Amino acid sequence: MVETEITLVEKMAQLLCDPESPRFSKPYHDGTGLFISDGRMLLAFGDIQPPEGVPCWVKVDGKYQIEDKFRIPPEKSAEIVGKFVTGVLPVPSVDGPPKCCNALWAKIEECEPCDGLGYRECDMGHDHDCEDCGGKGEFLQVCDEARDEVDILESTFARRYVWVMSQLPGVKLCPYVKDEMLGFTFDGGKGVLMAIMKDRE
């Protein structure tokens, strides 16, 4: 059996785009370039077409054909990554996802409200699909390790995203954090990562 080498866009889509996400479930092309984002990390690959077989949102006549407004990709993606210069700093080394988790750092958890049954009895004695898990009896939960804090340039970032950054070829960090965002460059593109927002006294 011959293994097919996956493209960088496809690999990053697997690490960031959750098909079940209520937000951004796949890469998008806004007319200026191809991007991948999950709302916290944004990757820009320049004005290239999505690789064959990789689902992608594409603007048609200046609009995405998406009914759910919460799934519409962010505007001005090129402008956001354009704020940052070429990266020069190395990415801190962190461990990848635990063995119990998938590539999105999530693991299947039993739904506690329905005890994993997928249904609950109402006041009238009828069984109904559990509202918490949608009748599945389980759901994907981001593992605690994904939220471990990693300090970079006096700002704090989630371990999961620092690891995702490290999977990019030739990745280097910009030497500053601007607007709570850390910029970086890699072979074939640029990106930004939002810091963990903390309450400040």
> Would you state the pLDDT for residue 138?
65
- What's the chain's length in residues? 201
Higher-pLDDT residue of 73 and 4 is 73
Clarify whether residues 120 and 29 are in a common domain: no
Clarify whether residues 41 and 13 are in a common domain: yes
End-to-end Cα separation, the chain, in angstroms: 59
Asked if residue 131 belongs to a domain, the reply is yes
Clarify whether residues 182 and 88 are in a common domain: yes
Higher-pLDDT residue of 110 and 149 is 149
Clarify whether residues 66 and 152 are in a common domain: yes
| 36-25-46 Cα angle (round to 5) | 20
Clarify whether residues 83 and 134 are in a common domain: no
User: Which tens digit of pLDDT belongs to each residue from 62-98?
Assistant: 888 887 777 788 888 999 999 998 999 999 999 988 8
> What is the enclosing helix (H) or strand (E) of 10?
helix 8-16
Range of the domain at 135: 106-142
Asked if residue 174 belongs to a domain, the reply is yes
Alpha helices in 25-166 (DSSP H): 77-81, 159-166
Clarify whether residues 69 and 110 are in a common domain: no
Residue 25: is its pLDDT beyond 90? Answer: no
Confidence of residue 201 (pLDDT cuts 50, 70, 90): very low
Clarify whether residues 19 and 72 are in a common domain: yes
Asked if residue 199 belongs to a domain, the reply is no
HSE-up (13 A, CA, CB side) for residue 85: 6
Clarify whether residues 154 and 184 are in a common domain: yes
Clarify whether residues 153 and 76 are in a common domain: yes
Asked if residue 115 belongs to a domain, the reply is yes
> Would you state the pLDDT for residue 5?
63
DSSP state at residue 71: G
Confidence of residue 22 (pLDDT cuts 50, 70, 90): low
Count the domains in the chain: 2
Clarify whether residues 18 and 84 are in a common domain: yes
Residue 200: is its pLDDT beyond 70? Answer: no
Percent of the chain with pLDDT strictly greater than 70: 92
